[in-house]
Amino acid sequence: MNKTILVVDDDDLICKLVARYLEEENYTVITAADGPTAVEKYEHQKPDLVVLDIAMPEMSGFEVAKRIRAIQRRENRPHTPIVLLTAYARSFFLSTGSEADSFLTKPITPEQLRDHVGRFLGETTSPPSDVGTAP
């Protein structure tokens, strides 16, 4: 079965690039350019994983993750992995108390993204490189 991934980034170029990387790995990709749209698409399209930028106008990636977790609890949905894309250092991520499961530090390579996403979706056994996991 083809897995669906929601990619959220206000930078159109990054969003398209990440979507292309994932589509080349045969994932179905849904995109959103802002937090409110991401929450709406998550609620109605039920992706298997979310790749989420932190720094966005209107609603940060942290707030989007919090709202996704609230939807999961309210609707008794299974846990959806959330991977943050960030330009921030690991120490910043660890100090936020984020609802995310993991993070990738920009810039990322197609291989890093593929390995990381595959690990969360149970499609790889190789350890991801240059990434972090939430505490």
Per-residue buried b or exposed e for 29-60, using 16+ beta carbons within 10 Å of the residue's own CB? bbbbbbbebbbebbeeeebbbbbbbbebeebb
pLDDT above 80 for 45: yes
**How high is the pLDDT of residue 126?**
47
**How high is the pLDDT of residue 90?**
57
130: left (phi over 0), alpha (psi -120 to 50) or beta: left
- pLDDT over 90, % of the chain: 61
Domains and CATH numbers, the chain: 4-133 (3.40.50.2300)
The helix or strand, by DSSP H or E, that contains position 17, with its residue range, turns out to be helix 12-24
pLDDT above 80 for 62: yes
